[in-house]
Amino acid sequence: MPEPHRDLQLHEIKGIGPARLKALQAAGILTARDLVGYLPKAYRDLSHPAALNSLKDGDEAAVRVRVKGGSVLRRFGKMSIVSVRVTDGTDSMPCVWYNQPWLKDRLVPGRELLLYGKAEARYGALQLISPAFESGEGIKPVYKPLKGVPLTALVSAINAALDAREGQWGETFPAEFRKKYGLCERNYAILNAHRPLDWEALKAANRRLAFEEFLLFQLGLWLIRGSREEGVSIDAPDDAGEAFWRTLPFSPTNAQRRVLDEILSDLRAPFPMARLVQGDVGCGKTAVAFAAMYAAVRAGWQTALMAPTEILASQHYESAKALLEPLGIRCGLLTGSLTAKARREAREAIASGAWQAVIGTHALITEDVVYHELGLVITDEQHRFGVRQRTTLSDKGRSPNVLVMSATPIPRTLSLILYGDLDISVVDELPPGRTPVRTRIVPEDKRRDMYGFIRSEVRKGRQAYVVCPLIEENEALDATPAEVLYERLRTQDLPDLRIALVHGRLKAADKDALLEAFRTGQIDVLVSTTVIEVGVNVPNATVMVIENADRFGLAQLHQLRGRVGRGAEVSWCFLMAEPNERLRLMTRTNDGFEIAKKDMELRGPGDLLGQRQSGAMSLGAYAYLGDAALLKESHDAAREIIKNSSTPEAQALIALAKDALQDRLKDVGMN
């Protein structure tokens, strides 16, 4: 038995050999503590199997069934589909599995099965789509797969770590503090997060672990804010804002004027700016960013804008040339796809200051790029960049001003909590004349009518997106995969149209080439995963179809809807799902902040943010267990600790935050 206070190393855990050790380390899991910190993404109730005749479209449940008849294996190129009918005496239902051809031999007539999956109406019939094979009863944890580690091996390793260290996950909170906030012991929480005794024990475990993660996150942000040092002060001319606005072919909104004034005030301060500009799709955040760049360059400083994709960087560059070059500002573009000669010339232009406004991708932060008096750094689509990338770009100058932009609307109270290291501006007004996207919920029996509408739009010279939640089917996810839908559209439903498929597994160059072909009108219908959520501006696209819309958060649906409605024509968003309260909200409003507020109420902030870095730090796995009320409670607790930071209890909790977030705090220059 290892010493109680020494964390168990991965190689000491049964079943973890060299290959799996390497894969776990690549995922940031280095010790037994990290391993048990990899919490389930969901839980399945296997205690009370549902009757087949009780299932409705969208229900997710365990069913105890018997195979009825033989199974069928069909192949479509690289894709395979296994189907079989099952019964439980109350009804019978087809089951379908994608890309698991070996199942055909397992599904013999008469075999008893415990399955867990989602019932979906497809082409007029209720089906179980890729249900998982289960055994046993009770509450089963479900883990997100890790690359290079089979799911069974991951579960086995987690259980081995729990067994080896049971009762030894030391308490981190003082007893009085736990009592005040109604928190269970940490050891109890960890065990019941992975092996819940019942739903009440699981609820208590989730509350404790989520509260701890949120609290340490809040304290960490306070430590970051408290470390701000003097940096670049930009003496922006008083008339810079109005001078820029006068050059535009349109009048700025009052919100754009207000936010720019806040930015210019920050630039003149002795401390470097750290400001988040939030705004809905189409609110004009980019114009505000260019106005800030104009003011900084007029004061003699170089500026840089970093975008997450080459396409978005190129679009920003074209806009910058149109808006800034007539004002005498020299612009340049630096991306990873430049030729060696072009890249060398770009580096020289940046180092000499010949380029005053530098726009690009992650290429902006590579070691060989040296800036000339960098005064303002802007990152677009903040959630696509971690704090390390943002900090690396900032380190290219002498503590330059930092402006981050996000088109993901988040309720202001949540923003103040999650982006605690940033001041916040909200562009909460849309320019006049923007046509709202018309949103409709489309049930399965209206699919062919919708395809007819897409065909008529394409005949008018317009284009359409079709978005799926994932690339291909597997046991863990049960939604129409992009590859299946692409084949169906190409060969059956819309064979007369030019259709292409794009997803995150493609090489970056291939993905960008397809997106560029769509942007230039060479593709009529683009089937995609959520890689098109940000960074694609195609004014000619007037239709957005979102498959399995009930699988997306409202905020993400709103982001996807924002890909259309960018031109003068009326645009449409079709949500493929059965109607429910969440989706009906999408048909009633185009206000992203109202939608985000409702999304947080229904799903909690973890789902709202998705699996992304939020603000200065990653919230980690525990965040997805929280809810809005718990987030507020932990925020208030952190404020109380900070307010009374000299007490022994507060000092202990602050030390805990420093210890827990040590690596992340190093990212922002703190010891």
pLDDT tens-place string over residues 500-511: 998 877 887 888
Q: Are residues 368 and 488 in the same domain?
A: no
CA gap 162, 36 in Å, rounded:
7
Nearest to 640 by CA among 207, 656, 632, 386: 632
The residue segments making up the domain with residue 327 are 240-268+283-406
pLDDT tens-place string over residues 39-63: 887 889 898 899 999 998 878 899 9
Domain C-terminal end among 406, 430, 457: 406
Q: Are residues 32 and 53 in the same domain?
A: no
Mean pLDDT of the chain: 82
Residue 514 belongs to a domain: yes
CATH for 159:
1.10.150
Question: Residue 476: its pLDDT value, please?
Answer: 39
Q: Are residues 381 and 523 in the same domain?
A: no
pLDDT tens-place string over residues 472-530: 444 334 445 788 889 999 999 999 999 999 887 788 788 888 888 998 999 999 998 87
Burial 323-345 (b: 16+ CB within 10 A, else e): bbeeeebebbbbbeebeeeebee
Q: Are residues 517 and 369 in the same domain?
A: no
pLDDT of 385 above 60? no
CB 210 within 8 A of CB 630: yes
CB 98 within 8 A of CB 80: yes
Q: Are residues 154 and 72 in the same domain?
A: no
Q: Are residues 539 and 396 in the same domain?
A: no
CB 84 within 8 A of CB 70: yes
Kindly list the distances between the CA atom of residue 113 and the CA atoms of 87, 119, 123, 363, in Å, as whole numbers in the listed order: 10, 16, 25, 52
Residue 293 belongs to a domain: yes
CATH for 80:
2.40.50.140
Domain C-terminal end among 589, 605, 625: 589
Question: Residue 662: its pLDDT value, please?
Answer: 64
CA gap 321, 318 in Å, rounded:
5
Residue 427 belongs to a domain: no
Best-predicted range by mean pLDDT (353-367, 396-410, 595-609)? 353-367
pLDDT of 454 above 90? yes
Residue 140 belongs to a domain: no
Question: Residue 51: its pLDDT value, please?
Answer: 94
Stated pTM of the model = 0.64
Q: Are residues 26 and 109 in the same domain?
A: no
Residue 142 belongs to a domain: no
Q: Are residues 91 and 8 in the same domain?
A: no
pLDDT of 598 above 80? no
DSSP characters over 649-661: HHHHHHHHHHHHT
Confidence of residue 28 (pLDDT cuts 50, 70, 90): confident
Question: Residue 317: its pLDDT value, please?
Answer: 94
The beta strand positions in 437-481, using DSSP E, are 438-442, 463-467
pLDDT of 387 above 90? no
Say which residue the tokens 């919230």 belong to: 619
**Tokens, residue 589:** 């409003």
Confidence of residue 227 (pLDDT cuts 50, 70, 90): low
CB 174 within 8 A of CB 215: no
Residue 89 belongs to a domain: yes
pLDDT tens-place string over residues 155-208: 888 988 888 866 677 788 989 999 999 999 999 999 999 999 999 999 899 889
Provide the 10 A C-beta neighbour count for residue 289.
26
CA gap 191, 197 in Å, rounded:
9
CATH for 532:
3.40.50.300
Residue 96 belongs to a domain: yes
Q: Are residues 442 and 400 in the same domain?
A: no
Q: Are residues 356 and 449 in the same domain?
A: no
Q: Are residues 463 and 527 in the same domain?
A: yes
**Arithmetic mean of pLDDT, 658-665:** 64
Say which residue the tokens 């087949």 belong to: 52
Question: Residue 475: its pLDDT value, please?
Answer: 39
Domain C-terminal end among 574, 589, 604: 589
Domain count, the chain: 4
pLDDT tens-place string over residues 277-306: 888 777 888 999 999 999 999 999 999 998
Confidence of residue 669 (pLDDT cuts 50, 70, 90): very low
pLDDT of 121 above 70? yes
Q: Are residues 365 and 453 in the same domain?
A: no
Residue 353 belongs to a domain: yes
Amino acid symbol at 273: M
